[in-house]
Amino acid sequence: DAGHYDNGGYEHYLLKEISEQPDTVARTLRGRVDDRFHIAHLGGLNMDARETRSFRRVKIIGCGSAYYSGQIGAQMIEELARIPADAEPASEFRYRSPVVEADTLYVAISQSGETYDTLAAVQELKRKGGRVLGIVNTVGSAIARECDGGVYLHAGPEVSVASTKAFTSTAVAFALLALHLGRVRDLSPADGRRICEGLRRLPEQIKEILTMEEQIRELAIKYADAPGMMFVGRVRGYPVAREGAQKLKEISYVHAEAYPASELKHGPLALISPELPTVAIVPDDELLDKNLTTLGEIRARHGRILMVGHRTSEQADDCVVVPKNEVELDPILLTIPLQLFAYHAAVALGRDVDKPRNLAKSVTVE
């Protein structure tokens, strides 16, 4: 119940929770980054080194934003630990008859730790002998108790229905898990060091993004009257696009669709017009040129573009330039302007920001 927690003088819990992220990320990292051996300390995993090396696959489950943060996590684990990894909505997972394998590491994500779909999926996995870790915010919650071990976010209570700080901290927890799995396999000390240093830079970089709030507010007001918005990103940018669309639709009720940028030409390009602006996630990574080509294709159809990335581009109508980290960690930072964008769009449209219609903070029913 929101009544138990102080809103810290902010007009909405959502803005408070967005603004807290330099601290909450620091808390998720505290005591877990080892700068000497360039490894992560995750004491709660309850796995010895032999077991940690034995997994051939990672399967991540969660619902809604937890699922999207799991997609970011899967990408990090594949890149840093070179273990095939993917994410699936826990709600779908439990309704099919998934093959549960002994050499797969299952990871369940939940801010509340009480989401029924996720809990039921974990119970089904356990029944079939699966090894399940939890990435959970609420200590002692049902999902945390059900899992074999895991990582607590330590992000503090999240009151606003739309998840922000828990999403970011989950992505940070996955970076730690990917570093841990990578360093007991074949991630080099040099790459380990690069990731440790990148993780340490995050809180300051988040502070820097928060100083851009006024610019983002003006952009949110400019775009908020569009009947719908498209969000696109490639590979690392795609889950960021999905989370950006989720935040916008959830609290502003503006229709938003997220697509992999590479899929536009296979259908949704037909939707592009001045009435459907696009938010494009364009990090400075190996896919930069491909993403800029996509912007050109959108522009040729008279679509307006708000680009979120590490540079400006003449292809875009507006650009939000965020600080650059290591490519694997960039999704963590790229999501934050989208939280502010959704927040200010919702405020501009007069929505009930902290308690959007039809939604509950934790979905404890089937």
Angle at 138 between CA 135 and CA 143, to 5 degrees: 60
Identify residue 181 by its one-letter amino acid code.
L
Phi, psi of 118 (to 5 degrees): -70, -40
Q: Choose between 68 and 223: whose C-beta lies nearer to ligand AGP.
A: 68
CB atoms within 10 A of CB 128: 13
Nearest approach in angstroms of CB 226 to ligand AGP is 21
Cβ 138 to ligand AGP, closest distance in Å? 8
**Minimum distance from residue 350 beta carbon to ligand AGP (Å):** 20
Catalytic residue among 16, 59, 324, 361, which? 361
Q: Which is nearer to ligand AGP, 249 or 324 (CB)?
A: 249
305 vs 342, which CB is nearer to ligand AGP?
342
Identify the three-state secondary structure at position 29: helix
Phi/psi for 267 (5° steps) reads 165, -65
Based on CB atoms, which residue is closest to ligand AGP, 25 or 142? 142
Nearest to 241 by CA among 294, 317, 301, 200: 294
Known catalytic residue: 361? Answer: yes
| Chain center to CA of 134 | 16
Q: Which is nearer to ligand AGP, 111 or 325 (CB)?
A: 111
Quote the least distance from Cβ 246 to ligand AGP, whole Å.
6
**Which residue's beta carbon is nearest to the bound ligand AGP?**
64
Residue 326: CB atoms within 10 A of its CB come to: 16
Query: In the complex with ligand AGP, which residue's Cβ is closer, 256 or 287?
Result: 256
Q: What is the DSSP string of 176-242?
A: HHHHHHHHTTT--HHHHHHHHHHHHHHHHHHHHHHTTHHHHHHHHHHHTTSSEEEEEE-TTHHHHHH
Residue whose token pair is 């032999």: 50
CB of residue 224 vs ligand AGP: minimum separation in angstroms?
Answer: 19
Q: What are 46's two structure tokens? A: 């309850």
Instruction: Summarize as ranges the residues that interact with ligand AGP (CB under 6 A).
Output: 63-66, 110-112, 115, 118, 161-163, 250, 359, 362-363
Residue 325, token pair as written in the block: 């980290």
Q: Side chain identity at 107, as an amino acid letter?
A: V
Pairing between β-strand 255-260 and β-strand 57-62 as defined by DSSP bridges? unpaired
Q: In whole angstroms, how close is the CB of 357 to ligand AGP at the nearest point?
A: 12
**What tokens appear for 145 in the block?**
């108790």
- Residues with a catalytic annotation lie at 361
